C-alpha cells in the first residue's frame, strides 16, 4: 500500500511539474496557437491528475469528471482554433 501511495505521489509531482512547464509556454508563447496547444495539453494533464487523485483517495466518484474535462478541453480547443482561423466562432450562414 505504501508503495502505491509513493508511486502515485511521484506521478502527481511529475504531472504538476509538466503543468508548470506548459504555463511557461502559455506566458512566453510567441503566437496564439502555441498558447492554445499548451492549454489543451494542460487539460489532458488535468485528466491524468484527476485519475491519479481518484486512485489516491480510493474512490470512483471522480470518473465522470475525467470525461467532462476531456470533452470541455476538446470543445474549447476547437472553438479557439476556429477563432484563430476565421475570426468568428459561430457563423450565421456558411458559404460552402
- Using DSSP, state whether 1 is helix, strand or coil: coil
**CA pair distance 28, 33, nearest whole angstrom:** 12
Shortest distance, position 78 Cβ to other proteins, whole Å: 6
> Are the C-beta atoms of residues 69 and 50 closer than 8 Å to each other?
yes
Minimum distance from residue 47 beta carbon to other proteins (Å)? 15
Q: How far is the CB of 33 from other proteins (least distance, A)?
A: 16
User: By the criterion CB under 8 A, which residues form the site for other proteins?
Assistant: 61, 64-65, 67-68, 71-72, 74-75, 78-79, 82, 85-86, 89-96
Amino acid at each position: 500500500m505504501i508503495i502505491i501511495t509513493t508511486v502515485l505521489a511521484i506521478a502527481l509531482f511529475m504531472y504538476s511539474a509538466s503543468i508548470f512547464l506548459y504555463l511557461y509556454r502559455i506566458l512566453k508563447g510567441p503566437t496564439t496557437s502555441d498558447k492554445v496547444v499548451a492549454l489543451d495539453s494542460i487539460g489532458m494533464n488535468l485528466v491524468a491528475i484527476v485519475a491519479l487523485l481518484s486512485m489516491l483517495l480510493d474512490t470512483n466518484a471522480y470518473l465522470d469528471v475525467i470525461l467532462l474535462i476531456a470533452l470541455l478541453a476538446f470543445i474549447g480547443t476547437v472553438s479557439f482554433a476556429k477563432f484563430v482561423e476565421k475570426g468568428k466562432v459561430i457563423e450565421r450562414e456558411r458559404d460552402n
